[in-house]
Structure 1
């Protein structure tokens, strides 16, 4: 794979223009993500589609969080060059299409662009003849907001102690869920299940896996669609990792599998006790070895660490990992094996999906390159263990704050080297500001506890 996006012909651009015009498109959203993974972009008339493809849509870099670019001089201009293969009309916004853009500066790929960083890691896999397939499981909530701005479940009656799979609630928001499914399918998703999850107002929408780059692009599109459709219904779409202290939080489980050029499942071995080949176990070893540092990319919000709690959660069973272990179909560990693939359960929806996948690949490849041996699998319920048992069994803990996760990332030479020291340093600086801001804020909890204390 070349480092730059593949150049396309004038004929290909003209054909894409004709296809979009026939679909009633008048405006193209040139979309990229900032360092947080938030969708950013600009509206450009369809007549100027060719300009998005080359040289790209222009943006002032100081207005974008996390470009690492100066405020003046020739490198102050950030261009989002469109990947024509991603151009799709948006059924929830008639007349509009989206094209995914990748950052360039002075006609060269910008090495702080998260999508470019993912493509670089995918190129490392391609050198071995491997393709990473990714299945993403988005958990999300549909809310109203009360007068204080706090979330309230879309359905006031959604208050069961165990609301999972509650069909009554699903029926009352079925119009919103069906529109999500229908519009995503129009955009090429293969949606195969929607269910009510284990918290009030919480749902999960599942669609089939794809190659890693397509999966990342689709996840951003999923969020764009869900936000718009929810707002049309007078609701708020939220992937906040832990909106309620006494209910399970929202995860973003990643199913990871490798295929070679013949289509063989590289990580699978039906004769293995846990269904994994030697390569698969090495990938597990790499993910576990770098799990503490990976947390900074996979759970990059302050709120993330109210989901990744050690000990009993206020919500009882949280379905979120806190300890670095793996096991066969073990949802209480950070890594679950199933069907010759691995499910990485650390990730939440506050992540930049491109960075989450790029860092996971770097960790997996380190496991393979170093020939790492995975620790013994753990096929027990970790939620039932007393605290002392983790130390006795040598099972380490995930970082419990964003500050701790950033420290772990800074100390991880492999991830820093794979993603680039300058970029990782900029990411840490950006997120450290968020952490410091949180630490200096004063919460309602503190007023209630300390205003007249002691």
Structure 2
């Protein structure tokens, strides 16, 4: 009886991951969850305007007025027993949509936006989305020795953490595939299996929250920030996307076309590349993001499509020829100009909107570059329609504000809230040098 009371008296959080990629929410007793599932809990419209620095953006469209609700999605519930942790209680939360008091969609909810875009692919194109996120992070602890890149030694020196991460994510239903030491000192990466779009974005949140929870429980300092220090190797988030029809048949691969890229997939890529400078406002949406998006960083600095090229912003990923899995089922495109400061739901929704526009307007397949764009001349880049990505968040926001696709297809209140939120972020950071900037975001993300 005592154990049952203890479990019933644990907390479960109604969670929303906001425009700044920070998960916020309110908690109730687990015993009340069934009753509250259809009701949700109260929330405040102005919370959409909270910056990463615990300020509310100036001149936001909400002020002190209004009320909304966090409405939970029962299928997204995560619950990890306290026995898994060393010094933690049970961890339970459920992903929510933000709705009005009438239960109608709320314009600044990133999760609702992604749901709508995913449904548009089904309704307008007869396409199902297959998506997976990969996350890089820095893991630190006092007196943790350096070790060779990608080495077994790097993994084993954090064995108390690495041996528990995949089991933890598996308990949360995240279908983890791999944890690996990366190139940077104390840098690691975790990958999960692909799933549908909204589930993949929820899964990305689960990876972030649970990885941090485990690290904290074991007295590590963990950060997903794109630049932990000015000279450090950057941490990216990569999203892999493939398309299939409603019967499950892959649509991206065509053995008769260059590099195996189907005509539809080529149009999809063209839509993304044509809007990529504006997309950066959503996928590289912090001031520190632009310390990572530089040539020769194995990240992305240009709007180009590459085959097996980690300097490309869009990459055709490798397929294993000796695998029992057919090539068309392996084939996918990786978007690389993305980091942890991006809302996974909002970033994915805007990438997909650009790709949708490319298909619907039958854009011509982009030239597939075999070289790093930084090694091409200016005239070669112009001939291949390769452009530099923005060099700052301010530049990316200006691109967004002049982009006809996003300005016409995203909710006006979301755009207004987001633009003012990000302009406030730029203002907050304007006097910081790179060292202070990196520390600021490292501590938050």
Question: Which interval holds the TM-score relative to the shorter structure?
Answer: 0.7 to 0.9
* 2:38 matches 1:54: yes
The verdict on how the C-alpha distance between 1:276 and 1:79 changes in structure 2, with shifts beyond 3 A counting, is same
Q: Give the aligned partner of residue 306 of structure 2.
A: 327
Q: What is residue 81 of structure 1 aligned with on the other side?
A: 71
Deviation at 1:192, TM superposition (A): 2.1
How far residue 78 of structure 1 moved from its aligned partner, in angstroms, is: 2.1
The counterpart of 1:32, out of the listed 2, 16, 21, is: 16
Secondary structure of 1:109's match? coil
C-alpha change, 1:47 and 1:357, in structure 2 (3 Å) is same
Q: 2:117 aligns with which of 113, 121, 124?
A: 121
After superposing the two structures, state which structure 1 stretch, 377-386 or 34-43, moved more: 377-386
Alignment equivalent of 2:392, drawn from 401, 419, 424: 401
Q: CA deviation at 1:23?
A: 11
CA distance in 2, matches of 1:132, 1:166: 34
- Does residue 358 (structure 1) correspond to residue 354 (structure 2)? The answer is no
CA distance in 1, matches of 2:336, 2:435: 31
Structure 2 unaligned spans of 5+: 51-55, 318-329, 438-445
C-alpha change, 1:173 and 1:422, in structure 2 (3 Å) is: same
Provide closer, same or farther for how the CA distance between residues 52 and 300 of structure 1 changes in structure 2, counting only shifts above 3 A. Answer: farther
Partner of 1:390: 381
Q: CA deviation at 1:382?
A: 3.3
2:62 corresponds to which residue?
Answer: 70
1:259-338 map, 5 Å = 259-310=244-295, 317-338=296-317
Residues 257, 444 of structure 1: alpha-carbon distance in 2 compared, 3 angstrom cutoff: closer
1:435 aligns with 2:419: no
Flag the 1:224–1:442 CA change in 2: closer, same or farther, 3 A: closer
Q: 1:72 to 1:156 in 2, by over 3 A?
A: closer
For the Cα contact (< 8 Å) 1:323–1:334, is it kept in 2? Answer: yes
Residues 135-182 of structure 1: CA distance to partner in whole angstroms, max 9, x if unpaired? 1110111124xxxxxxxxx66422x6xx43122121110111121111
Moved more, 388-397 or 258-267: 388-397
Question: Counterparts in 2 of 1:98-113, with a 5 A limit?
Answer: 98-107=93-102, 108-113=104-109
**Shift of residue 387, structure 1, vs aligned partner:** 6.3
Moved over 6 A (4+): 443-446
Conserved 8 A contact 1:58-1:78: yes
* Structure possessing the higher relative contact order (Cα contacts under 8 Å, 6 or more residues apart): 2
CA distance, structure 2, for counterparts of residue 270 and residue 207 of structure 1:
27
TM-score normalised according to structure 2 size: 0.85
Q: How does 1:132-171 map to 2 (within 5 A)?
A: 132-144=129-141, 156-158=144-146, 163-171=148-156
**Pairs within 5 Å for 1:373-388:** 373-385=364-376
The RMSD of aligned alpha carbons is 2.5
- Cα–Cα, structure 1 residues 360 and 445, in superposed 2: closer, same or farther, change >3 Å? closer
With the length of structure 1 as denominator, give the TM-score of the two structures: 0.84
Q: 1:52, 1:80 within 8 Å by CA — same for their partners in 2?
A: no
